[in-house]
A = this chain, B = another copy of it.
Amino acid sequence: MISFTEENYLKALLRISFDSGETGVGTNELAMNLGVKPATANDMLKRLRDKALVDFEKYKKITLTIAGKKIATEVIRKHRLWETFLYEKLEFSWDEVHDVAEQLEHIQSTKLIDKLEKFLDYPAFDPHGDPIPSKGGELTKQFRKTLLDIPVGQLCKMVAVKDNSSAFLQYVVKVGLGINNEIYVQSRQEYDALMVIEVNGVASSVSEKFAENIYVV
């Protein structure tokens, strides 16, 4: 049996390598991400290696094994299906779903998650625009552009957010933005990359940090 904690480590490994675009993950990076000390992460990594869920040599980068990746993907699948349930069926707002899904993602029942998926009518994306892996499926690696990559004078469409924190998501709503909204890039400051964007006829200034957390096409 796999523990909640082990699942969280595996999920973090998959997400970090996904976000960074690199295969291997560092111990400190992982520890930072999970809010534990490097020594703690190192202990757990040795246990996950004993269980053949991760691969790594002393002082080298960590990678998930096939088995480890499978578990991590299942946890992400559950997380995103639960977020969708909370958003679609229980009237949660998109900034509230993540924290509860962090708990729900660890419920062990294949039947539950398959029935939930059916109940939701096989959704492809969660409320933040992230793809939901299908049963037994992989997390497909897609190269997504952020709002930072859009040149001045161009129109784009928001498809997802990178940061899932409540603080950021509420800010996004305040700017009048949401999934599938069109964004027009009016101008950009050379000095600090501050952008002026227009959404539904309303102009707002957004920072570099903000822009890099908005995925667009």
* Chain B neighbourhood of A104, CB < 8 A: 107
CA distance A90 to B115 in the complex (A): 6
* Chain B neighbourhood of A99, CB < 8 A: 109
Shortest CB-to-CB span from A93 to chain B, Å, is 10
- Check: A89 CB closer than 8 A to any chain B CB: yes
- Check: A19 CB closer than 8 A to any chain B CB: no
- Check: A122 CB closer than 8 A to any chain B CB: no
Given A91-B115, A115-B90, decide whether A103 and B96 contact each other with a Cβ distance below 8 A.
no
Q: Is the CB of B119 within 8 A of A96?
A: no
* Chain B neighbourhood of A90, CB < 8 A: 112, 115-116, 119
CA distance A96 to B114 in the complex (A): 14
CA distance A96 to B98 in the complex (A): 27
- Check: A100 CB closer than 8 A to any chain B CB: yes
Shortest CB-to-CB span from A191 to chain B, Å, is 43
17 inter-chain pairs at a CB distance below 8 angstroms, sorted by A residue, are A86-B112, A89-B119, A90-B112, A90-B115, A90-B119, A91-B115, A92-B111, A92-B115, A96-B111, A99-B109, A100-B107, A100-B109, A100-B111, A100-B112, A103-B107, A103-B109, A104-B107
Residues of A that sit less than 8 Å from B by CB: 86, 89-92, 96, 99-100, 103-104, 107-109, 111-112, 115-116, 119
Q: Which 8 A-B pairs have the closest CB atoms?
A: A90-B115, A100-B109, A103-B107, A100-B112, A90-B119, A91-B115, A89-B119, A104-B107
